[in-house]
Amino acid sequence: MEDLGPPVSHLALKEGTPVYDRRGQRIGVVDGVIVDEKTGIFEGLIVHTLPLPGRHLYAEHRDVADMRERGVLLSVDRAALHEPGPRSAGGTSGERVEGPIQRHLRRTWDWISGLR
């Protein structure tokens, strides 16, 4: 793995930044950064996997070991990542209730897929 440069915050992380698994193997690129709108707290990343066209996977904040200027290092393997969640979580009486993470993932997915 190449030198990834100095550490950066999620605020400076750019789309297209390479993403590496815990073994240093490149698995994709950053396609979106998920942040809680109210608090500004980093919640995770949407990773566009390689080879292209690939698919989108969600890396939770706890899956991210290090964010650098030229790469993100995960603390897990690609297999531990999951697809962005469903648009909503189940509620009571057949009602659909959307939590904050689901809302952010839905907005990000809508943006990625051009539905916005």
Average pLDDT over residues 81-91: 55
Q: Look at residue 115 in the predicted model and tell me its pLDDT.
A: 55
Per-residue confidence at 93, pLDDT binned at 50, 70, 90?
Answer: very low
- Whether residue 22 is predicted with pLDDT greater than 50 in this model: the reply is yes
Per-residue confidence at 26, pLDDT binned at 50, 70, 90?
Answer: very high
pTM: 0.70
User: What's the CA angle centered on 53, arms 22 and 112, to 5 degrees?
Assistant: 85
Question: pLDDT > 70: what percent of the chain?
Answer: 80
Q: What is the DSSP string of 27-44?
A: EEEEEEEEE-TTT--EEE
Contacts of 60 (CB under 8 A, 6+ apart): 43, 44
Domains of the chain, CATH where assigned: 18-87+95-113 (2.30.30.240)
Q: Look at residue 105 in the predicted model and tell me its pLDDT.
A: 76
User: How far is Cα 87 from Cα 104, in angstroms, rounded to an integer?
Assistant: 9
Q: Look at residue 94 in the predicted model and tell me its pLDDT.
A: 35
In the structure encoding, which two tokens stand for residue 15, read together?
């789309």
Mean pLDDT across the chain, nearest whole number? 81
- Whether residue 48 is predicted with pLDDT greater than 50 in this model: the reply is yes
CA distances from residue 39 to 29, 62, 68, 80, 100 in whole angstroms, order as listed: 25, 17, 22, 27, 12
From the CB of residue 108, how many other CB atoms can be counted at a distance below 10 Å?
21
